[in-house]
Amino acid sequence: MASKGEEKPELVGSKQGIVSVTKAKHDQIVLVLRVVAFLATASATIVMGLNQETKTLLVGTIGTTPIRATLKAKFQHTPAFVFFVVANGLASVYNLVMLGVDVFGRKLDCKGLRLVIISILDMVIVAVVAAGASSAAFMAELGKNGNSHAKWNKICDKFESFCHQGGGALIPSFIALLLLLLISAISIITLHNQKLTSPHATTP
Amino acid sequence: MASKGEEKPELVGSKQGIVSVTKAKHDQIVLVLRVVAFLATASATIVMGLNQETKTLLVGTIGTTPIRATLKAKFQHTPAFVFFVVANGLASVYNLVMLGVDVFGRKLDCKGLRLVIISILDMVIVAVVAAGASSAAFMAELGKNGNSHAKWNKICDKFESFCHQGGGALIPSFIALLLLLLISAISIITLHNQKLTSPHATTP
């Protein structure tokens, strides 16, 4: 009985050791990915949120007097861009909170459900950012190329700077989406690995 | 030692029993949700994929002869709608495969990673459907209301049936999105619960 008693903790210990190292590695990777994802969504939010261009266009002449109109392109004029800002802003706040919890609240747990809750929230944020980025991308494509069937003219020939800045917001948002997908996948894998280290698992 | 030996299996047995019942319940719920999600994404794909309207409009007159133009509205004319069909089609195929695996391939497993793989794939499909549904929704909103700032006129006053059918495709897609979010959350919870029934967990 004594030998069995000695063997078991050794086995458990070695397995737990390996898994703990893996978990620590996963945690570090996720921490770095979250920082980069936060920077990406935050910059996407700011770049799109500050996107506006004012342009004075010649719209006609009365006699020899040119008639000019001042037009303004703002991200607020397009619902998809507003949603883009909200989605990326939400993802930024979420990742910031998660970073805070990761760094300062490692002991925070709710009935061992911490990882489950994080995995589910990660998945929801992936969906939100995917929706925001792709909606804005299709609207940007319309602004760039227009749609001859619907008689919607492109606007990027008139508002070049607005379109460039919009494109500049889309890139970090798609990078963030890839990072969030990765974070979510790692969360799920960590949840799977946790079964080897969990107190429920080792002492049933 | 004998009493300890008897106690342990009892405890493990009862816990495994409860968790097995919960897992079976989860499996049944996921099966039903997957069937409904499949029906929803499949109908969204078909309704949008068959969406087209031909309309003959009076565009002017030469003398007393009316000049008519035949216009066609097709989902293929809008990249966001094409993406919507692809995204919902992909989700339909995925859910059908998962249903097949659930019903006929329960024993299929790859190094105990079956649930991890399913959870990650579920999450990816949530992102794809979220992107497809929201992109199409913003494009539909543009078709319905137009955008006065960009001088894009609404087209739903001319192509009513096209717009109705497009809206009719969006609804099941958003229902499917909610169901897929739920399925994905249940996959993650099942993964968490699995640690209590896993052979690794009980015999470490």
Minimal Cα–Cα distance from B53 to chain A, Å?
12
- What percent of chain B has pLDDT above 70? 84
pLDDT band at B15 (very low <50, low <70, confident <90, very high): low
Minimal Cα–Cα distance from A178 to chain B, Å?
11
Place of tokens 């739920």: B182
pLDDT at B47 over 70: yes
- What percent of chain B has pLDDT above 90? 52
DSSP string computed for chain A: -HHHHHHHHHHHHHHHHHHHHHHHHHHHHHHHHHHHHHHHHHHHHHHHHT-EEEEEEEEEEETTEEEEEEEEEEGGGSHHHHHHHHHHHHHHHHHHHHHHHHHH-TT--STT-HHHHHHHHHHHHHHHHHHHHHHHHHHHHHHHH-BTTTTB---TTT-HHHHHHHHHHHHHHHHHHHHHHHHHHHHHHHHHHHHHH-HHHH--
A30 touches chain B (CB under 8 A): no
Q: Where are the domains of chain A?
A: 9-202
User: Mean pLDDT throughout A179-191?
Assistant: 93
| Contact state of B126 with A127 under an 8 Å Cβ cutoff | yes
Residues 6+ apart with CB under 8 A from B175: B40
Name residues 110-139 of chain B within 8 A of A (Cβ).
113, 115-116, 119-120, 123-124, 126-128, 130-135, 137-139
- Tell me the per-residue pLDDT of A97-152, one tens digit each, with 9 for 90 and over: 999 988 887 777 777 788 899 999 999 999 999 999 999 999 999 999 999 888 89
pLDDT band at B42 (very low <50, low <70, confident <90, very high): very high
Minimal Cα–Cα distance from A103 to chain B, Å?
23
Whether the pTM exceeds 0.95: the reply is no
Out of B12, B73, B131, the one facing A131 most closely (by C-beta) is B131
pLDDT at A168 over 90: yes
Cβ atoms within 10 Å, residue B136: 31
| Contact state of A149 with B188 under an 8 Å Cβ cutoff | no
- What percent of chain A has pLDDT above 90? 52
B200 touches chain A (CB under 8 A): yes
A21 touches chain B (CB under 8 A): no
- Tell me the per-residue pLDDT of A49-61, one tens digit each, with 9 for 90 and over: 999 888 887 878 8
Name residues 70-89 of chain A within 8 A of B (Cβ).
72-74, 77-80, 83
Chain A CB contacts of B124 under 8 Å are 181
The ipTM is: 0.83
